[in-house]
Structure 1
């Protein structure tokens, strides 16, 4: 769909007269070119710029008016909420009792404000794209290059850079007070709850920038924004989180975290807020395999910034770090001993392995959680940026770069030192009792078009792979797909809708609108809504599978469906050429539908016997009830020359035991064949000798084949190779040998008779 059609289909009717006049501007270009016989004069250029400037003034002025209106409405709503809560608490004499209808009416007003924030966000997005489109069209049609120049005018009146977080935080507080009828959940914002018997589920998703504000507004209807200091006004700087990841020059920590090996560690230094923060947290994340019965843990301790360099070099001892803590006696001796053990281990690891600062990650985090209740915690990281620290080659020995702060988007850094991540990262953490389903709204959220599931995504791994191309040749599975647009058509009715009036409907993304959706896609979307639900591990499953304990999770599905290259260790080898990206409309629609099916555990599709294509291949063999979906050929993802893509494969001890049992089963059968051959040799006649030789050859061949397969399987399992472990020819060949041996014996005996 062309942008002009997209604009007409997506605009909000109430804002109709304040959108960029895209069609008129495009017609103005065509008319002037036609009058000038294909040429664009300086007068034409001056007149067009004047018209374009007036359009920018119109959009900018309206955005400012609406923003001010929302601020005033929030203040009025706050006064009404305070008044209603005071009446409910009986702080006024001789007043009418508070009714449920008053709360519902006030909640409806807040939902209208939420809808207005959503509409204004979509308004700014659509107009910004409109200006970019018309500037590009102007430069292409006229030959006059004004896009870089006019971008400065856009930056001066940056209506599209409005930060709605301050609105969202305030609306969240008001909405929570009304939703709980004046009794919001109380507790320590940093507490984690007191549950003991729970299963923690953590899943990660990417969120396109077009959907960030809508996602925040959806979540705040169910969870309040977690505010650590309610008395302090909102400041975006307080949401900033910066981490410095350490590694050695061989990036062994990177490789361990990527492969998810047992005991893989990540060591980082983190601080919250600006560069003036004096408290630095030294953290260690340790990965534990599920079969060990242990959980992956994150432990940390605090240290003053002035002592970090000395501590990392071993010049500042562990006893000195916790000397003040022992004097204050705010923690028990056992807690202090545990922290000292952690600090001693981290210090020894950093010094003995000569680790240096490698990657810095920066982002602004907005967390949603009930204070003191960690059963459901959702965090959204925006403006995510990875920066190259490169402690091995950087001048000076400071633990972090001093030429940058938290001034996103870090424009002064050279391109090779910074990776600006194009999406926000949503992290959903659930603590539910065994057998308990997650909340319904969480299930709808993770299955909606607003998010894209990316299991095991890591900021450290992504930053290392992109910032150190000369040292790292093993990529995570998601990296080759970064160029693919993750926006997709709505999969079910989910998002922000107006409660009192439906003046218009807006699409959640620009790439796919209702006119682009085919009848097949509409049918598929309805069937998908009816037959899928998120599974307990944060992914999804089909209704036909139920709660099958043998169902593959995201990691296993990746490895199970991956093809096996020659070396067997990695899924995809380098090619001389990278397959071109198919940006055609047909391919985009296919890709949209394929991503809409991710909740069916088909992130990397493949059949039950392990046959598959690649990370972005055809969707084959997926069906909804009796309505199968035909295979669609989308492009094949390949690693660039010199790189390999690692697909995680889960390996547990029972896998090794399965290989041993298979070998013993073959060994037992070979013993039986050998016993038969020995019996025929000792007690048979001349003709039995032929049969004995046949059974002997079969027995020896079975032993050699079984031993070879056992050694091969053990090596591949140890390397976590995504290969086909099933035996395709062995049993058939063995049966054929036995059949030939028996057949020859019967034939010779028959001829003798």
Structure 2
């Protein structure tokens, strides 16, 4: 069920998603905005008259396909003509603006090159470019970055608009327009604009200007010393709507890592492909990596660029538990592609792989020996344990890092796809170590659906190496706490690919699997994002210019800026404050998201049901009356009072003051969701201590039984009954403790989520002891004729 608030009519109603193929779910308590309103609220001033006229097209569909009106061929032709005009309008604006941005980038590059030339040619006594020149260049580049951001948002909203209006047309008119209009979209692909080349160029220019002509230089492949650093790696999902914005934000702080600055950017250069190996019958490596068991391995073969790449990196990841005092290790060596098959089959000795390296002498003998040892271990595992290629991961990576400085490294993987490499059912890779019918031609449209899964999000990986006690940079903390990312710790491409592609063989699923049908977009949490440089050093985006201009008219009524901030920053702070106050009372758009997969309109649903007639229309009409009645009653009945309980220090330390949401997921039938559990040696010792505690009590009870049986000159009936009761209790206690210990030990080894506290055992033992004592007194009292 979804609780949806219509921001236009202010009505709140329930909506069921059960039984539909659409499984999109909103976050708990999330307000859903219709796309039409989202489009109106997201209009950028420069593009105001170039957006798709979504409301007009929607009105045409409603008026013409209303109950009693039949959608005719003339209606279809008229609607298609109007849609064509809207497509021409959007495409023309996108082409003009894209060309303008490229010219502006070229102009900025010329200005930066002029500054570089003057810096290189100046004498010892000559002054270089002034600070004002660098500030103007930085402001100009910031505006170009904001233009790229605005164009990306314009394209994304319009593409969603066309997709939704076509879907609405097919649903309301029963005429199938989507297959026909997809051809028109492909002829004017305004949505296929790739900004990676612009991002790389802008990053290089902005880094030069930001560092005032002194960019950090070093080996792009170097990682820096890790001796005195603590490395922290976190993974996040990024919605496609936010990918370009995130890249533009990061490049203002870190340059794009380019291994060969002399070469022009080619999308193929950012492609990374990995072939993962496992035993398709036992899935040892999959389960080991999923459960994070000590020593769990992952074996993969990776190459960078296209299929013509000769350098193949054979890698092995080894997981180490924290309690061991060791860190997880990723080791690899390089091999030529022509040698890979012979090496994996065992027909080539590992020593032969490194003969050339030994002869050239460019690498220390110790490093070569380590690589050879690694090669032998991987070769042995592949042959002995029957590892075969099972899954391929492909993606384009954009890495941000200072050359030679790995303290902050951010990588963004887009176009992520997982592809089957196994030979189950039919031959894919055959006897080769990888399949050859595909390359780096994303989206791999030649593959059948069962052979590929295209991941819907980009993967952001933030790697920080900070000294002990040192906080990460402020902009990194703002980024990872912003609405642009969704944290998914320990996400693995290998695990997700196997769980998706081999669903008929794998029953243990990763913990993030149920989240795939939950929209990860969130409302803006704080003022963070791309801003357009202002005259006074402040910043704001192009869709906020009109609002700031109008705010200037009321400058006399504004409060004074806080200490340490400029007047423009104070204006932005005050505007955000006013928005937040207004949104709490009126449900303003910044606290909402829109449903991009399906849009529910009660009028459309009722009209469609009326055309169908019969039971469907009757049930829809009854549901409409019930919702109207419920809204009327809700407006009369006073709302119940809410009492807020202050948070404890422990909860505040764990979750802060942000809203805490509880989610429950259910695994598909026949599957299990594996939740990561951290197991340390002391957990096993705790289970053993509990068992020994029960064993000690069993011995005490058994000793009491023996004492009662042998007490006195001769055994009596009372002593025999009491002794038997205590003996039975001792045996039951012993059996219970053994069974509990075996159950807990197995659950710990398998890392199962069970209740490890004993709810009934101690209580049952105490009650049985009490009953035994009472029985003893009763029998003995009767023997002595006390009662």
- After TM superposition, is the score higher than 0.5? yes
Q: Using a 3 Å threshold, how does the CA distance of structure 1 residues 489 and 109 change in structure 2: closer, same or farther?
A: same
Alpha-carbon distance in 1 for matches of 2:37, 2:91: 23
Q: Distance in 2 between matches of 1:701 and 1:249?
A: 45
Kindly indicate whether residue 497 of structure 2 is the aligned counterpart of residue 454 of structure 1: no
Counterpart position of 2:477: 443
Task: Give the counterpart of 1:374 among 400, 406, 418.
Answer: 406
Shift of residue 204 of structure 1?
Answer: 1.4
Query: What is the alpha-carbon distance in structure 1 between the residues aligned to residue 59 and residue 126 of structure 2?
Result: 62
1:46 lines up with 2:80 in the alignment:
no
Give the one of 628, 650, 654 matched to 2:682: 654
1:466 matched to 2:497: no
Q: 1:734 to 1:312 in 2, by over 3 A?
A: same
Shift, 1:424, TM fit: 0.8
Deviation for aligned residue 1:439: 2.5
Q: Which residue of 179, 188, 194 maps to 1:157? A: 188
1:494 matched to 2:528? The reply is yes
Whether 2:298 is the aligned partner of 1:266: answer: yes
Residues 176 and 624 of structure 1: is their aligned pair in 2 closer, same or farther, counting only changes over 3 Å?
A: closer
Change (3 A) 1:285 1:351: same
8 A Cα contact 1:87 1:95, kept in partner: no
Deviation string, structure 1 residues 703-724 (Cα, Å, up to 9, x no partner): 3322221121111111211111
Q: Secondary structure at the match of 1:17?
A: coil
Q: 2:341 aligns to what?
A: 309
In structure 2, distance between residues paired with 1:645 and 1:118: 39
CA distance in 1, matches of 2:58, 2:740: 68
Q: Does 1:287 align with 2:315?
A: no
Task: Confirm whether residue 118 of structure 1 aligns to residue 157 of structure 2.
Answer: no
Offset at 1:433? 2.7
Q: What does 1:331-342 align with in structure 2 at a 5 Å threshold?
A: 331-342=363-374
CA distance in 2, matches of 1:689, 1:180: 93
Map of 1:528 onto structure 2: none
Tell me, what secondary structure is at the counterpart of 2:470?
A: coil
Residue in 1 that maps onto 2:383: 351
Cα distance, 1:27–1:710 mapped onto 2, change above 3 Å: closer
Alignment equivalent of 1:504, drawn from 543, 566, 582: 543
Counterpart Cα distance in 1 of 2:486 and 2:725: 59
Please report how far the alpha carbon of residue 420 of structure 1 lies from its aligned counterpart in structure 2 after TM superposition.
Answer: 1.0
**Aligned 8 A contact 1:60 1:157 in 2:** yes
Shift of 1:187: 1.2
Seen in structure 2, the aligned counterparts of structure 1 residues 696 and 102 have a Cα distance that, compared at 3 Å, is: farther
Cα deviation, 1:159-213, whole Å, max 9, x if unaligned, reads: 1111111111111112222222222222111011013032222221111111111
1:601 corresponds to which residue?
none
Corresponding position: 1:644 with 2:672: yes
After superposition, what is the alpha-carbon deviation per residue over 1:654-688, rounded to whole angstroms, capped at 9, x for unaligned?
A: 11011111122223344444455555656679888
How many residues are aligned here? 649
Structure 1: how far apart are the matches of 2:99 and 2:243? 21
Instruction: Quote the offset at 1:521 in angstroms.
Output: 9.5
1:690-748: CA deviations, max 9, x gaps?
Answer: 77666555444433322221121111111211111111111222222334445566777
- Counterpart-to-counterpart distance in 2, 1:81 and 1:751: 111
Shift of 1:67: 1.3
Do the aligned partners of 2:122 and 2:128 also contact (CA within 8 Å) in 1? Answer: no
| Alpha-carbon separation, structure 2, partners of 1:112 and 1:130 | 27
Shift of 1:518: 6.1
Does residue 248 of structure 1 match 2:248? no
Structure 2 match to 1:104 = 135
TM-score under structure 2 length normalisation:
0.76
Distance in 2, Cα, partners of 1:119 & 1:492: 19
Please give the alpha-carbon distance, in whole angstroms, between the structure 2 residues aligned to 1:725 and 1:197: 39
CA-to-aligned-CA distance 1:39-62 (integer Å, 9 cap, x gap): 344343333322222211111111
Q: Deviation of residue 87 (structure 1)? A: 5.1
Q: Which deviations, in whole Å up to 9, do the C-alpha atoms of 1:69-91 show, x marking residues without a partner? A: 22222222233334445556672
Q: Contact 1:391/1:397 (CA < 8 Å) preserved in 2?
A: no
Counterpart selection for 1:214 from 228, 241, 245: 245
| Contact 1:356/1:391 (8 A) holds in 2 | no
Deviation at 1:240, TM superposition (A): 0.3
Q: Does 1:727 align with 2:758?
A: yes
- The alpha-carbon deviation at position 351 of structure 1 amounts to 1.9
Give the direction of change, closer, same or farther, for the CA distance of 1:182–1:47 in structure 2 (3 Å limit). same
Relative to 1, partners in 2 of residues 1:93 and 1:707: Cα closer, same or farther, differing over 3 Å?
closer
- Output the CA distance in 2 between the equivalents of 1:237 and 1:502: 32
Instruction: Provide the secondary structure at the position in 1 that maps to 2:70.
Output: coil
The alignment status of 1:299 with 2:331, answered yes or no, reads: yes
* Structure 1 residue 310 displacement after superposition: 1.6
CA 85–703 in structure 1, closer or farther in 2 if over 3 Å, else same = same
Give 3-state SS (helix, strand or coil) of 1:134's partner. helix
1:410 to 444, 463, 486: 444
CA distance in 2, matches of 1:404, 1:195: 38
Kindly tell me: are residues 520 and 201 of structure 1, through their superposed partners in 2, closer, same or farther at Cα, counting changes over 3 Å? Answer: farther
State how 1:290-689 maps to structure 2 within 5 Å: 290-391=322-423, 393-394=426-427, 396-500=430-534, 501-504=540-543, 637-676=665-704
Distance 1:521 1:670 in 2: 65
**If the length of structure 1 is used for normalisation, what is the TM-score?**
0.79
Q: Secondary structure at the match of 1:25?
A: helix
Q: Deviations over 1:498-547 (max 9, x none)?
A: 332554269xxxxxx9999766999x99xxxxxxxxxxxxxxxxxxxxxx
The equivalent of 1:562 in structure 2 is none
Structure 2 spans left out of the alignment, 5+ residues: 1-32, 535-539, 546-578, 592-626, 628-650
Give the secondary structure class of the aligned counterpart of 2:194: coil
Contact 1:311 1:317 in 2 (8 A): yes
Q: For residues 217-236 of structure 1, what are the structure 2 equivalents within 5 Å? A: 217-236=248-267
Distance in 1 (CA, whole Å) between partners of 2:131 and 2:728 is 87
Which residue of structure 1 aligns with residue 38 of structure 2? 6
Residues 626-646 of structure 1, C-alpha deviations (whole Å, 9 max, x = no match) = x986x87x6x53333333322
Q: In the TM superposition, what whole-angstrom CA distance separates every residue of 1:587-620 from its partner, at most 9, and x where no partner exists?
A: xxxxxxxxxxxxxxxxxxxxxxxxxxxxxxxx9x
Shift of 1:425: 0.9
Contact 1:678–1:692 (8 Å) recurs in 2: yes
Aligned pair 1:187/2:218, yes or no?
A: yes
* Equivalent-residue separation in structure 2 for 1:417 and 1:187 (angstroms): 42
- CA–CA distance in structure 2, aligned partners of residues 623 and 437 of structure 1: 18
* Alignment equivalent of 1:197, drawn from 228, 235, 259: 228
CA shift for structure 1 position 354: 2.8
Please identify the structure whose Cα radius of gyration is greater: 2
Query: Relative contact order (alpha carbons < 8 A, sep ≥ 6): 1 or 2 greater?
Result: 2
* CA deviation map 1:436-483 (0-9, x unaligned): 333232222222221112222211121112222333232222223322
Distance 1:443 1:628 in 2: 18
Q: Distance in 2 between matches of 1:520 and 1:439?
A: 36
Bigger drift between 37-46 and 233-242 goes to 37-46
**1:422, CA displacement in angstroms?**
0.9
* Residue pair 1:10, 1:505 contacting (<8 A) in 2 also: no
